Structure 1
Amino acid sequence: MDLESAALDWRADGFVILPGFIPAEELTAAVSELDLLFPSADGFHDGTDPRRARFIGDEFAGIDTFPFASTEISLLAVNHRILALAQALLDDSDVHIYTAEAWAKYTGACDYDQDLHRDYLNHTLLVPSTAPGCQQLEMFVFLSDVPEELGPPHLLSRAHTADIPAVPNWFLRPGQHSAWRFNDDSGSPQMYGAEVSGAGPAGTVIAFESGTFHRGTQLTASRGARYSMHLGFRPSGLSWGQRVGWAARSFEREWGEFVHRASPRQLQAFGFPPPGHSYWTAQTLAGMALRYPELDLTPWSASASAPRGS
């Protein structure tokens, strides 16, 4: 699917599923380093990987946050195809990444079956908007094949949800009860009957709005494991869409290794000013050379501002 068609589907349904969007050859380096983050399927199910216990009992325990122990996986989070897709869907040439997580799930580790929900409560200070320039974009990126038995996300088209108010946010599966104001415990059979599976091969990207209803599903495959990334993007000027502050970990070794290998466009997605910006002066370039000694500063120094008074 071309990006223009993807954007049309995203605007109509609130999501678009792009099977194999990232070619196998662009996944190879990242997939080869998955063991730096997570146990293999055999390591988990045979109990030979000492990290196994971490994943038991909590569906979110399998999440690692950016920057990752694998520089290749960090670079994949801002792969050129992913950035192009984000720009096309948000209709903005300057998009920023505001969250990046790698996620491992294993059959039997815990209950991964979720209720239909929207992510906006921990992705924005406000509520979702469909106004141009005010939308936020999330992506699931499959690092392994995710057939139905390996728990793909299920999503619900805006055609079924456009009139649902911002609260409640979770629509519980039948048989559950809750008095919390963010939960609807009516069973919602029409919603669950209309959900669409996001199953697909490695390299599949599922792009969806922060206001799109979706849910995780159970892993049922024998000795199963699935690996994916969860990314969030926003227009650079959309200040209310936030989840993490990148500076909080920007002195760690993994961050430095990522920066040293990233392109100017990839770094711009994290908030680096682009070449030509007034930030780039002889003073800041000298400081950056000390902070990131292996970063090629040529793209920024070529257009650096002249010192005042020169």
Structure 2
Amino acid sequence: MDLAGAERTWKSDGFVILPGFLPAAELTSAVQELNLLFPSADEFHDGTDPRRERFLGDEFAGIDTFPFASTEISLLAVHHRILALAAALLEDDDVHLYGAEAWAKYTGACDYDQDLHRDYLNHTVLVPSTTPGCQQVEMFVFLNDVPDDLGPPHLVSREHTADLPAVPNWLLRPGQGGAGRFVAQADPELYAAEVSGAGPAGTVIAFEPGTFHRGTQLTAPRGARYSMHLGFRPSSLQWGHRVGWAVKSYTSEWVDFVGRATPRQLQALGFPPPGHRYWTPETLAGMALRYPNLDLSPWSPTLSRPAG
């Protein structure tokens, strides 16, 4: 992993495209469980999966949220390479996963072609910052090959957008209509400056919530695209958020994930690290009841010195 090179590109452009960043062999177990979330391409296009109707007419209807029905896909969201990339780009080893979605798209299901926009409106209560320690990073993770005819995201370098104000947020193509203070017509040169994020399975596209980008149409016959959309922030950055994990933490999917995750993966979801003063005989006893399959030895005070 050339994390230093990725960091330089992310800082200069506002995004970095890393083809095949997750090796194919490390995707296999997650990809094999995609059927727990979504129809296959053939099942969708042949109409043999009753879940098909869900995906029709709404580009966001194909989203499942973490924790997923597949524990393997949940674990992939905090894969060690993903966490290392987030830590390098945010310049902080203690990163928090503040949003995770798995997303299926199918050719012909609906119109996936978007206008250029930034994501910050639903990723932070403030506005994006380029100050170290005050940044967030989003990632698209491809679970199958995504060539140009399977709707890869397009992104625009900060080189072309650095002087644009925080509002408006959506920049429409000529001829597109829209209303409200967050919507305006784009300079056509912005669309001409787009970069395609097409890449093989395992590709990771890391970008800032302040980076202009858009989804594109799927045109491949009988096509399907499977991906994840992740959001990370430094754990100390309190103004960037999308969901709260506690509301999901009593589900069987969450308990299954916790039972198989590493301490570092769980720290990315808000668990205090080993050595933190939270870990006492009282809390360890309670955690043993809440998560019967979790090996608590890494957090045991008898095995790690209290912090501070």
Q: Same fold (TM over 0.5)?
A: yes
**CA offsets, 1:78-136, max 9 Å, x none?**
00000000000000010000000000000000000000000000000000000010000
- Say which SS state the counterpart of residue 225 (structure 2) adopts: strand
1:255 aligns with 2:254: yes
CA distance in 1: counterparts of 2:269 and 2:179, whole angstroms: 39
Cα offset for 1:174?
1.5
Note the aligned Cα RMSD (angstroms).
1.0
Cα offset for 1:304?
6.5
* 1:164-243 matched pairs, under 5 angstroms: 164-185=164-185, 187-243=186-242
CA distance in 1: counterparts of 2:126 and 2:48, whole angstroms: 45
**CA offsets, 1:35-77, max 9 Å, x none?**
0000000000000000000000000000000000000000000
Equivalent residue number for residue 266 of structure 1 = 265
Structure 1: which amino acid aligns with 2:304?
S
Equivalent residue number for residue 99 of structure 1 = 99
CA distance in 1: counterparts of 2:255 and 2:305, whole angstroms: 22
Cα offset for 1:173?
1.4
CA distance in 1: counterparts of 2:143 and 2:173, whole angstroms: 29
**CA offsets, 1:130-188, max 9 Å, x none?**
00100000000000000000000000000000000000000011211223110012x42
Cα offset for 1:18?
0.1
Equivalent residue number for residue 110 of structure 2 = 110
- Say which SS state the counterpart of residue 233 (structure 1) adopts: strand
1:303 aligns with 2:300: no
Q: Is 1:139–1:206's contact at 8 Å kept on the other side of the alignment? A: yes
TM-score (norm 1): 0.97
CA distance in 1: counterparts of 2:283 and 2:19, whole angstroms: 43
- Say which SS state the counterpart of residue 191 (structure 2) adopts: helix
Equivalent residue number for residue 37 of structure 1 = 37
- Say which SS state the counterpart of residue 51 (structure 1) adopts: helix
Cα offset for 1:303?
2.3
CA distance in 1: counterparts of 2:259 and 2:179, whole angstroms: 50
Structure 1: which amino acid aligns with 2:188?
P
Equivalent residue number for residue 12 of structure 1 = 12
Cα offset for 1:305?
5.2
* 1:20-99 matched pairs, under 5 angstroms: 20-99=20-99
Runs of 4 or more off by more than 2 Å in structure 1?
303-306
Q: Is 1:281–1:305's contact at 8 Å kept on the other side of the alignment? A: no
Q: Which runs of 5+ in 1 are unaligned?
A: none
Equivalent residue number for residue 3 of structure 2 = 3
TM-score (norm 2): 0.98
Equivalent residue number for residue 155 of structure 2 = 155
Q: Is 1:280–1:304's contact at 8 Å kept on the other side of the alignment? A: no
CA distance in 1: counterparts of 2:46 and 2:2, whole angstroms: 42
Q: Which runs of 5+ in 2 are unaligned?
A: none
The size of the alignment, in residue pairs, is 305
CA distance in 1: counterparts of 2:159 and 2:90, whole angstroms: 20
Overall identity of the aligned pairs, in %: 79
CA distance in 1: counterparts of 2:306 and 2:282, whole angstroms: 10
- Say which SS state the counterpart of residue 25 (structure 1) adopts: helix
**CA offsets, 1:10-45, max 9 Å, x none?**
000000000000000100000000000000000000
